[in-house]
Amino acid sequence: MSLPPSVGDGNCYYILTEGCTYGSKYFPPGSLCCCSERSYLRSFADRPSARFLKVIMLDEGSTVTVTVEILQPVRREVAALLLGIGGPSERLDSFLERLSLEAALQAGPGQKVTVEIERQHFPGVIRYVGSIHKSPLAALSPVFFGVELQGEGENRGRSDGSYHGTEYFKCKPGCGIFLPFSRIRFIPGPENEPGKQKPKVETEEGVPVKVGDAVSFYVDEVLRKGIAMAVYREGSQWFVKVCPEEEGTTDIFREIPLDSVVKENLISQSVFPTFGPDVGLGHSKQPKRQASESGEEGESGNPPLEVNSMVQITLDKGNQVFGIIRWLGYLPQIKHKMAGVELDEDKGVTAGEWLGKYYFHCAPKRGLFVKLQSCQPDVRFQSSRGSDLNLVEDSEREALPHAPVSFPPLRNEDAVSVLRGRMKGIQGHCNSCYMDAALFSLFSCTSVLDSMLFTPFTLCDRNVQEILREEIVNPLRKTGFVKARSVMHLREQLTEKGKCSSFTNAEKDPEEFLSLIMQKILGIEPLLKLQSGGHEGLDCYCYQIFMDKQEDLVVPDVQQLVEHSFLTYDQKLVEIPSCFIIQMPRFGKEYKMFSKIIPSLELDITDLLLDSPRECCVCGDVATLECSGCFKDKMFAPTGLKQFCSTCSKQVHSHYRRRTHKPTRLHVPEEFQCRSPQGSQRVPREKMELFAVLCIETSHYVSFVKYGPENEHWMFFDSMADRHGDENGFNIPTVTLCPEVAKYLDLPLAVLALEQPRDMDGVAKRLFCDAYMYMYQSKKMALYK
């Protein structure tokens, strides 16, 4: 598995997300490392499935070999900021928290901040951003912020703007201090908006090159051309990040001193170079059809381009790429209206990020920012146009529909390889465990409710549906990880649409979340259609088991509990559900009616269906009578409703203990009313399979998901399994395999009843003792719903 490099100065930079040992040395999470681009390409160009990479540890310079699974790529400027933080643990916290890091990337001289000194915060102004000590042997120098302290912070500093004899800015003695970004709070305000945080020198004329300008520069006495991607300062020197013409749009950027770059009077067709073979200095190859900046219909009559439009873009040397517009708007320092495009192939240069800010999200090297006028409708999805088509009125032309991207659920080995590990699953944040566990259970390894992601329901809120599909389910199935902010985005929408202010921070129950999103927002049909006491219309999304305490049910299974509940309240299923979500009997979150509940891997609902043929529990013939009294009789098997053919019913109820029973007559479908004497026509059984279990302990929800056909194929998910840092830290979601569950599923009931929860292996105790909600599916019915 190769990693996309974060290119900049000829090196690729990474941060370790987990600790690793190399020889006698241990490198903790948060350690920074790098490798040369040449080394990276040599490792992965011919061996895309390579698992190891030789890197240089930036903190102490040693060369080690690490597994790529623990490497997270970072840009050079990000690595430089992180390197300024001394402790790897705090460094990793700052990298994953992101907010402060993104603010630091856009901060510049003159910006007001507050700084932390000896656990107190004081006001100040940034006067310098850059390195303050450079080693000729170091691959990268750390970046610090030089701050002039003001107000209460005066005389709390350690310098006058100088460090080790070098002056970086001027201020009063004792008012200057150099700090990493983690010790700084960047104050938001109009003057600090991304578009206004351009790196500047003393005068505007001092920066002759702007982002997007075409430039020329010399490399080994050879004149090269390119596009300025960024302009920034390190210490007292300014640099320009250039994407060279000859290296195309997917290769390596060069960072060149500003005084070595010459601005050309060339406006790029796109933010990324689109040089053709006949493009000369000062001329740009433009498409014949010019789309308006607003995306209105062009001269050729094509429909206006908008978010989710499928487009094609001509790159260098006439090469074309195809993709989908994910964002439209204006970028800092760019006057033209731009389009953020997610490409079909790895021919981009970003993951939706521009100058440290994300405008959309996609896989690395799939994102591209271009002028909107450079995009044209994807010809692959347009019908052929005859010469007489111009006679058709514009109003009669229909915009081509956009098919949402989808990823299939993960099963078997795919589920293990994608989902297992730390920082896997859905990241929990601020009491979100109820939602995290429910979403992971419903979408990681099954497609039974994928209609929620695509079907245009009557009440469907498109925004919520798109967030659910694009920000949660697709990333979960593609990469195995969903960031906490994606779930918070959904929670914010639920708060707005559900008119409930507590969805973003309060503890909730899974059924409350599921009912809100399914019923009130997406407007899907109820999953269960019930009849009770002969009255229909009792539809619901989750079924709550209600029952009195049964002394004879010591360690029940789900089949028994469902049957008891249906029989007690005279309920029947009007039709076979595609998904059957069942809440276990309990009173509140503390009191559990049963100390253990055995998961029924299959739920037989044949006898729970209204007007379905039933089988006599004695002789196997078609049943015509049902008896609730016999259901409670210990002489019969503990599971299964008790129904009989007329002959067996007479015999069973001839016993003096059952003469008071009052069997009720069943409806027998016409095709089953005439059967052969031998009973060769068997009653079909309708069974549903278990695919997930939600559990709760001390108000915290986790889930078990069945990812394969064997009893051992279970995985355990906890969105808050571990935590990095304190109140400003983050939760670490974890997915682990738990094959030990099979051991207890195979135990005889009497043996399982005697098992002490504290002695059960692994996490099996939580499945058997803390079950809150069981989820079953009928794959047959899912095809029709």
**Cα–Cα distance, 286 to 279 (Å, whole number):** 10
Cα dist. 262→228, 283, 551 in Å?
11, 16, 88
Token pair belonging to 668? 């027998």
Max CA separation in the chain (angstroms): 109
CA 58 to chain centroid, in Å, comes to 30
Judge whether 272 and 368 are in contact, CB under 8 Å: yes
Out of 653, 661, 700, 713, pick the active-site residue: 700
Written as one letter, the residue type at 148 is E
**Cα–Cα distance, 419 to 410 (Å, whole number):** 8
Written as one letter, the residue type at 498 is G
Local structure of 312: helix, strand or coil: strand
- Our answer to whether residue 627 is catalytic in this structure is no
SS (H, E, C) 257-305: EHHHEEEEEEECCCCCCCCCCCCCCCCCCCCCCCCCCCCCCCCCCCCCC
Contacts of 448 (CB under 8 A, 6+ apart): 442, 578, 579, 691, 777, 778, 779, 782
Alpha helices, H only, 659-740: none
Out of 35, 433, 627, 648, pick the active-site residue: 433
Which residue matches tokens 């490497």?
Answer: 71
**Cα–Cα distance, 45 to 91 (Å, whole number):** 31
- Our answer to whether residue 433 is catalytic in this structure is yes
What is the full DSSP assignment across 364-407? TT-EEEEEGGG-EE-GGGS----GGGGGS-GGGPPPPPPPPP--
Residues in the chain: 785
Cα-based angle 200, 273, 319 (whole degrees, multiple of 5): 165
Active site residues: 433, 700
